[in-house]
Chain A
Amino acid sequence: MVTTIGILGAGRVGSAIARTALKAGYAVHIAGSGPAADIELIVDIVIPGAVPMTAAEVAASSDLVVLAVPMHKFRSVDPATLAGRIVIDTMNYWQPIDGELDEIAADPRGSSEVVADYFADARLVKTLNHIGYHDLETDARPAGHPERHALAIAGDADAAAVVAEVINRFGFDPVLAGPLASGVAFEPGSPVFGGRHTAAELAAELEPAEAA
């Protein structure tokens, strides 16, 4: 069972996910790009309750790790520290932000599959990428609430099931899209990306990808 969520990246996305996780009752360990002392004051005020650490310490001490760094910086994370771990890939390739990343742009597969090649020994799960970081905090609703939105999850079945429970506790209905390759169905440019969907609407949107 997941009790501690580790977050790599203390920017806007990482902070929003950290606050959401704390609100859902998880312990949160978080790292920026440097030593823990660099983000101590930031965490104390902006993410009160989270524990600042180095990236290696976060990876070693958490039940599940969230990658919340800009896509063009994912190689700054040491893949050895994430071996065997369930890792949520929240990243999107956005040319206007990331510049030209040929390894992503030229690869016909989804961005998470390219990322998974790098974190070869981690159990990568794609989710939390198709909702804005503002919306994550304002749109969370308890289970059964009529306004509750859904979030898509792609990854191997066991890891995806663990992540689904986390998404549920975050305040969203988890919808399993299939293996990691099905994550292309909710990348930027897809009809799902940035929209708001109920679980049924999201499942319907994802269906064609599953059948293909």
Chain B
Amino acid sequence: MEIGAYSFGDTPLNPDGSPRSTAEGIRNLFDAIVVADKAGLDYFGIGEHHTVSMPASSPGALISAAAAATGQIILGSAASVISTDDPVRVFQQLATADAISGGGRVEITAGRGSSVETFPLFGYDLADYDRLYAEKLDLLMTINDSATENVTWSGTVRPTLDDLAVVPRPVAGRLPIWLATGGNAASSARAGKLGLPVSYGIIGGEPHRFAPLTELYRRSAAQAGHTENIKVSVATFGLVAPTKKEALERFYPGWHSLNVEMGRLRGWGAPDRRQFDAQAAAPGAYYVGDPDDVAERIVHLHGYLGHMRHFLQGDFGGLPTEHLHESLTLLATEVKPRVARLLAAK
């Protein structure tokens, strides 16, 4: 089982709660990836976001920088909002990072975007949400599967490519492309039908309830005749600290401010501590705890979903960088070996 982390960027806060610079958030994220690589973490994902609190708008640029500064960690977008980007550019940027990494360490995860700030930002109409995603995913896969630099594709959401060069090609010929979903059943069926590995973002409820979705994914893949590259990864909230108590106290303030911000946008009431504590205990969705707790819960979930990678997001709402670095280090040095031991003992 691969163990990893992901981030949307986390703009630090001043003591009075006001945001510091978004540039600082990006620099901190870069530093965190370097720490994760040194500690031996398997994977780091950068999720495209366009808000002041979460400023990781450009996964390709960050992953290129990280590719040059790291040695072993797998780097990926998690996710790229391809509906409102040009798949040619997304592919080129990540293929460039792949070249810099030496090859084989860069992945793309293609998503639709669960919030829609990219639509006005890049001038797209939300009414085209489904068509944009379907066509652009098709274009991204067409480029990736192309035997040569030259690509031919036509659709309705972007000008035709008529035997045009899309460079560079990935070192290994293709990049791993994952499909990201938050649990819509049709998305699991789509991933299976296309033969793409699927990445579940599980941000609430009880993660083991995603088991029927992974079955749907695997059955859809089998029906379409796909046998290779059928893999599941899982992204959840989470933070590791030496003790569960410390992990909860470190994670809660950021979770609280994230929920205040989301609540303002979506009309939720004030976040409540009891709700937080329930989610942070098994079988809830927040993997916040000491290494034993987090490892046991990842292995428990594996019994339901059979995932091959679990990666955690702990940095939001201005998490102090030393807490993030400690969590990344513990994930690599303490959680990962425990997960391996527990899975081997099964």
Known: A11-B184, A41-B223. A132 touches B216 (CB 8 A): no
Kindly state whether residue A165 has any CB partner on chain B within 8 Å. Answer: no
A15 at the interface (CB under 8 A from B): yes
B268 at the A interface (CB under 8 A): yes
Question: Quick one: which of A166-206 are within 8 Å of B by CB?
Answer: 187-191, 193-195
Q: Given A41-B220, A46-B216, A134-B204, A190–B267 Cβ distance below 8 Å?
A: yes
Interface residues of B in 170-185 (CB under 8 A from A): 182-185
Q: Evaluate contact between B205 and A97: CB separation under 8 angstroms.
A: no
Q: B326 to nearest A CB, angstroms?
A: 30
B212 touching A46, Cβ below 8 Å:
yes
Q: Are A193 and B267 in contact (CB under 8 A)?
A: yes
Interface string of A130-168 (1 = CB under 8 A from B): 001011011000000000000000000000000000000
Among B212, B220, B267, contact of A194 (Cβ-Cβ < 8 Å): B267
Question: How many chain-A residues does the 8 Å CB contact rule pick out?
Answer: 31
Q: In the complex the two chains form, what is the Cα distance from A42 to B188 in whole Å?
A: 9
Instruction: Please indicate the chain B residues that have their CB under 8 angstroms from the CB of A97 in the complex.
Output: 114-116
A99 at the interface (CB under 8 A from B): yes
Interchain CA distance A97-B114 in the complex, whole Å: 7
Residues on A with beta carbons closer than 8 Å to the beta carbon of B204: 132, 134
Among B127, B183, B223, point to the contact of A12 (Cβ < 8 A).
B183
Given contacts A41-B219, A42-B186, A46-B213, contact A188 B266 (CB under 8 A): yes
| Residue B189 at the chain A interface, CB threshold 8 Å | yes
* Given A96-B116, A137-B209, A138-B205, A46 and B127 contact (CB-CB distance below 8 Å): no
Residue B296 at the chain A interface, CB threshold 8 Å: no
Given contacts A45-B212, A99-B116, contact A193 B269 (CB under 8 A): yes
On chain B, the residues within 8 Å of A10 by CB distance are 185-186
Q: Which of A12, A15, A45 has the most CB of B within 10 A?
A: A45
- Is residue B126 contacting chain A, with contact meaning CB distance below 8 A? yes
Minimum CB–CB distance for B146 against chain A, Å: 29
Q: Kindly report which residue of chain A lies nearest to residue B124, judged by CB atoms.
A: A99
Asked if B206 lies at the interface with its beta carbon under 8 angstroms from chain A, I say yes
Are B267 and A94 touching (Cβ within 8 A)?
yes
CB distance from A85 to the nearest CB of B (A): 25
Q: With the chains together, A191 CA to B213 CA distance in Å?
A: 33
- In angstroms, how far is the closest chain A Cβ from the Cβ of B104? 34
Contact residues in A for B127 (Cβ distance below 8 Å): 72, 99
| Contact status of A41 and B186, CB under 8 A, knowing A132-B204, A134-B205 | no
- Which residues of A have CB within 8 Å of B220? 41
CA distance A96 to B118 in the complex (A): 10
Query: Counting CB contacts under 8 A, is B277 at the interface?
Result: no
Tell me which residues across on chain A come within 8 A of B213, comparing CB atoms: 46
Contacts of A191 in B (CB 8 A): 269
Q: State in angstroms the CA–CA spacing of A15 and B265 once bound together.
A: 25
- Contact yes or no, B115 A188, CB < 8 A: no
Is A207 engaged at the interface, CB distance under 8 Å to the other chain? no
* Chain B residue nearest in CB terms to A48: B212
Chain A residues, Cβ within 8 Å of B114: 97
Q: Is B276 an interface residue (CB 8 A)?
A: no
Closest to A191 in B: B269
Task: Decide yes or no whether A98 CB sits under 8 A from chain B.
Answer: yes
Chain A positions within 8 Å of B206 at CB level: 134, 138
Q: Which of A77-113 contact B (CB under 8 A)?
A: 92, 94-99
The CA of A157 and the CA of B171, in the complex, are separated in Å by: 67
B119 on the interface (CB 8 Å rule)?
yes
23 intermolecular pairs with C-beta atoms under 8 Å apart: A11-B185, A11-B186, A39-B186, A41-B189, A41-B223, A42-B216, A45-B212, A45-B216, A46-B185, A46-B212, A46-B216, A94-B266, A96-B116, A96-B265, A97-B114, A99-B119, A132-B205, A134-B205, A134-B209, A135-B205, A188-B266, A194-B268, A195-B269
Q: A11-B186, A32-B186, A94-B266 are in contact. List 6 more A-B contacts (CB 8 A).
A: A12-B185, A46-B212, A96-B265, A97-B114, A134-B209, A193-B267
Task: Give A contacts to B, CB under 8 Å.
Answer: 10-12, 15, 32, 39, 41-42, 45-46, 72, 92, 94-99, 132, 134-135, 137-138, 187-191, 193-195
Question: What 3 A-B pairs are tightest by C-beta distance, nearest first?
Answer: A188-B267, A134-B205, A99-B126
